[in-house]
């Protein structure tokens, strides 16, 4: 009798555990992005392979005349780079092998199979020595409009930050780089940040990644729970504790990657007892459940955005309510969006108050910083009744006097009526500008569209193509400076004038027209993104399993011709 009872109890328990596991699985996004462990496993299995000269130009089935047009265009881009940027190319060639960031970004500007054929002159980055207005000058004397936004630092324009740095340094120059003691300017900084965040306490760190690490650590410390919830595609710095998928090798078992706008996700948050915190990157409102767009992954034309401010605000409010009910710490990672979306950042923009907020990028007035703000009981690093049970966190360069001085200048300036007026108008200004930009593109029948969230823009490609990543090189040749991720993200500062905007539009449209004329968007009949993705899968399988070369076409020749029947077989 007892044996049967025990077996029944065990059976019920196992059924319950399976039910709980299935509920968690349903809350994950169906893509590989939503399944971190599988994404790592599969990433390890994808081999490197390289398209040769022939296949590079003919991988979409282009006929010989189109191939020759593309070859000539690539040679022309190379010659332009060599003639306009000889000092930059020479300088980067000297330092490239010694700086690992350059090695990585040079290799990952484009999908890797195309890498070897592309000229090194096109893959290298920039060496700049001057900024002015919304432009940068490289060491060859070329002035380009900067669309990179310095990864989000540049909200108000480079002249604004140069002045912040200069005046901030003057405030603390008598002290110098003294570490440990605080300069008195820190008090005003803390009070201003607390008011902006709507929270009680502040800790300073050296980077956004470090601030996020501390937020998550304190949430676990005070809740006594093990797991973090992040949302599919969201970036929270390079720490593997918040990025358990591709790019990090440590086995991470304390992170749940769930799907946004999912009732299954809501159910998980309402029922699980092991969730310490929910980590939100408000930038995901631009492309929910998708990674940040980069040209290195642009193998087809399926980049998309789905920005709906009201819908995302409602979603965040639901998360807020559940976190309150379940004693889960709600953390806003505003490293990127803080001080851009509004004076109070995404909390103001979406009208949701977090328990903890991290800031970085622009808050240092142009100097490196990471800041964590939170409620008193969450920020405390020790427990009164367990004095040996602490959550230790320190940093040698935290609260560096020169950073504090520059931050103080920044915080004072953004309170000015001029900056506050910018905040009230900037989104409507850029919505109208993006509409004009798209009208110009449509009028010229160009296969490009610009989509935006506030002052953050991305390029959407309207025709299926394997060569969309080429646009970044045409843009550079037409005096537009991009980040290494290419056309995935344009970060526009508030100081772009109407004249600047018109010039940027003209440069952009000229680049798109040149790329179109050079036949990179030529298409065979019945071409689609699905066809392109299957071709890429064929190439991966052939490289991984050479025996399949007898079944799948060789990379030495086009995978298929441009005739209708062959394309039907491939698709």
17: confidence class by pLDDT, cuts 50, 70, 90: low
Q: Is residue 531 within 8 Å of 465, Cβ to Cβ?
A: no
Q: Is residue 278 part of a domain?
A: yes
Are 60 and 195 within one domain? no
Q: How far apart are CA 544 and CA 401, in angstroms?
A: 54
Are 443 and 513 within one domain? yes
Average pLDDT over residues 481-495: 95
Q: At what angle do helices 263-271 and 309-326 cross, to 10 degrees?
A: 20
DSSP code for 295? G
Are 195 and 276 within one domain? yes
Q: Is residue 19 part of a domain?
A: no
DSSP code for 280? E
Residue 519's SS3 state is coil
> What does the buried/exposed string (b/e) look like for 46-76 if buried means 16 or more CB atoms within 10 Å of the residue's CB?
eeeeebeeebbbbbbbbeeebbebbeebbee
Check pLDDT > 90 for residue 280: yes
Select the more confidently predicted residue: 100 or 171: 171
CB contact set of 420 (below 8 Å; sequence gap of 6+): 343, 414
Q: What are phi and psi of 290, to 5 degrees?
A: -125, 150
Q: Is residue 179 within 8 Å of 396, Cβ to Cβ?
A: yes
Check pLDDT > 80 for residue 434: yes
For 375-393, the pLDDT digits (tens) are 999 999 988 888 888 888 8
Q: In sequence order, what are the beta bridge partners of 382?
A: 390
565: confidence class by pLDDT, cuts 50, 70, 90: very low
Q: Is residue 146 part of a domain?
A: yes
Q: What is the pLDDT of residue 122?
A: 86
Are 208 and 317 within one domain? yes
Are 121 and 175 within one domain? no
Check pLDDT > 60 for residue 294: yes
Count of residues in the chain: 571
Q: Is residue 182 part of a domain?
A: yes
Two tokens, residue 238: 């390079």
The reported pTM is 0.91
Q: In a 10 Å sphere around its CB, with 0-12 CB exposed, 13-18 middle and 19+ buried, how is residue 468 labelled?
A: buried
Q: Is residue 147 within 8 Å of 490, Cβ to Cβ?
A: yes
Residue-wise DSSP of 263-279: HHHHHHHHH-S-EEEEE
For 168-204, the pLDDT digits (tens) are 999 999 999 999 899 999 999 999 999 999 999 999 9
Two tokens, residue 537: 């899968």
Average pLDDT, the chain: 90
Residue 47's SS3 state is coil
Q: Is residue 478 part of a domain?
A: yes
Are 338 and 402 within one domain? yes
DSSP code for 251? -
Are 280 and 360 within one domain? yes
Are 348 and 221 within one domain? yes
Q: How far apart are CA 343 and CA 197, in angstroms?
A: 10
Q: What is the pLDDT of residue 40?
A: 84
Check pLDDT > 90 for residue 371: yes
Q: In a 10 Å sphere around its CB, with 0-12 CB exposed, 13-18 middle and 19+ buried, how is residue 275 labelled?
A: buried
Select the more confidently predicted residue: 369 or 22: 369
Q: How far apart are CA 173 and CA 133, in angstroms?
A: 27
Are 209 and 276 within one domain? yes
Q: What is the pLDDT of residue 10?
A: 67
Two tokens, residue 475: 């843009």
DSSP code for 46? P
User: What are the respective helix, strand and coil percentages of the chain, to the nearest 5?
Assistant: 50, 15, 35
Which single residue is written with the structure tokens 């504090």?
404
Closest by CA position to 273, among listed 327, 198, 233? 327
Select the more confidently predicted residue: 244 or 570: 244
Closest by CA position to 370, among listed 214, 506, 505? 214
Q: How far apart are CA 48 and CA 277, in angstroms?
A: 38
Are 377 and 506 within one domain? no
Two tokens, residue 423: 């905040």
The three-state DSSP-derived secondary structure of 403-434 is: HHHHHHHHHHHCCCHHHHHHHHHHHHHHHHHH
Identify the domain boundary among 366, 397, 413: 413
562: confidence class by pLDDT, cuts 50, 70, 90: very low
Q: How far apart are CA 468 and CA 95, in angstroms?
A: 29
Question: Domain limits at 143?
Answer: 53-156+420-517
Q: Is residue 39 part of a domain?
A: no
Q: Is residue 230 part of a domain?
A: yes
552: confidence class by pLDDT, cuts 50, 70, 90: low
Residue 228's SS3 state is strand
Q: Is residue 336 within 8 Å of 283, Cβ to Cβ?
A: yes
Q: How far apart are CA 403 and CA 367, in angstroms?
A: 6
What CATH number does residue 478 fall under? 3.90.1150.10
Are 345 and 255 within one domain? yes
Check pLDDT > 90 for residue 14: no
Are 335 and 378 within one domain? yes
Q: What is the pLDDT of residue 328?
A: 98
Q: Is residue 32 part of a domain?
A: no
Average pLDDT over residues 122-148: 94
């Amino acid at each position: 009798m007892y044996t049967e009872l025990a077996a029944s109890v065990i059976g019920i328990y196992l059924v319950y555990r399976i039910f709980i596991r299935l509920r968690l699985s349903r809350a994950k996004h169906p893509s590989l992005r939503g399944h971190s462990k599988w994404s790592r496993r599969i990433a390890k299995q994808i081999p490197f392979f390289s398209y040769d000269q022939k296949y590079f130009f003919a991988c979409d089935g282009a006929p010989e005349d189109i191939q020759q047009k593309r070859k000539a265009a690539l040679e022309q881009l190379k010659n332009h780079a060599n003639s306009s940027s000889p000092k930059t190319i020479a300088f980067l060639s000297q330092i490239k092998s010694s700086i690992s960031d350059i090695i990585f970004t040079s290799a990952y500007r484009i999908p890797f199979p195309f890498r070897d054929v592309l000229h090194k002159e096109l893959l290298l980055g920039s060496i700049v020595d001057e900024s002015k207005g919304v432009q940068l000058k490289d060491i060859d004397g070329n002035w380009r409009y900067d669309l990179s936004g310095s990864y989000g630092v540049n909200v108000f324009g480079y002249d604004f930050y140069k002045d912040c740095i200069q005046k901030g340094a003057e405030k603390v120059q008598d002290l110098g780089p003294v570490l440990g003691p605080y300069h008195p300017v820190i008090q005003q900084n803390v009070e201003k940040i607390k008011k902006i965040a709507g929270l009680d306490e502040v800790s300073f760190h050296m980077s956004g990644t470090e601030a996020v690490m501390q937020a998550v650590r304190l949430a676990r410390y005070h809740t006594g729970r093990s797991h973090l919830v992040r949302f599919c595609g969201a970036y929270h710095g390079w720490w593997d504790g918040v990025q358990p998928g591709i790019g990090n090798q440590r086995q991470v078992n304390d992170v749940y990657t769930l799907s946004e706008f999912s009732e299954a996700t809501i159910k998980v948050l309402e029922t699980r007892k092991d969730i310490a915190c929910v980590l939100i990157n408000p930038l995901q409102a631009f492309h929910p459940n998708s990674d940040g767009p980069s040209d290195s992954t642009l193998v087809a034309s399926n980049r998309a955005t789905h920005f709906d401010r009201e819908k995302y605000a409602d979603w965040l409010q639901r998360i807020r309510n559940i976190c309150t009910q379940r004693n889960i710490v709600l953390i806003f990672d505003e490293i990127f969006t803080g001080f851009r979306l509004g004076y109070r950042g995404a909390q103001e923009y979406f009208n949701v108050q977090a328990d903890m907020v991290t800031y970085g990028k622009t808050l240092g007035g142009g100097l490196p910083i990471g800041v964590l703000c939170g409620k008193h009981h969450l920020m405390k690093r020790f427990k009164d009744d367990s004095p040996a049970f602490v959550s230790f966190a320190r940093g040698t360069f935290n609260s560096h006097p020169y950073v504090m001085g520059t931050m103080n200048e920044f915080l004072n300036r953004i309170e000015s009526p001029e900056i506050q007026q910018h905040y009230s108008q900037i989104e409507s200004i850029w919505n109208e500008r993006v509409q004009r930009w798209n009208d110009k593109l449509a009028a010229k029948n160009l296969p490009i569209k610009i989509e935006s969230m506030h002052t953050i823009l991305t390029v959407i490609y309207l025709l299926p193509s394997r060569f969309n990543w080429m646009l970044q090189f045409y843009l550079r040749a037409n005096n537009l400076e991009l980040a290494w991720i290419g056309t995935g993200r344009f970060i526009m500062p508030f100081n772009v004038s109407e004249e600047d905007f018109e010039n940027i539009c003209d440069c952009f449209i000229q680049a798109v027209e040149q790329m179109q004329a050079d036949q990179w968007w030529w298409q065979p009949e019945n071409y689609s993104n699905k066809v392109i993705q299957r071709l890429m899968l064929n190439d991966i399988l052939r490289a991984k399993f050479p025996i399949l070369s007898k079944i799948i076409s060789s990379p030495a020749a086009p995978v298929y011709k441009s005739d209708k029947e062959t394309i039907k077989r491939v698709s």
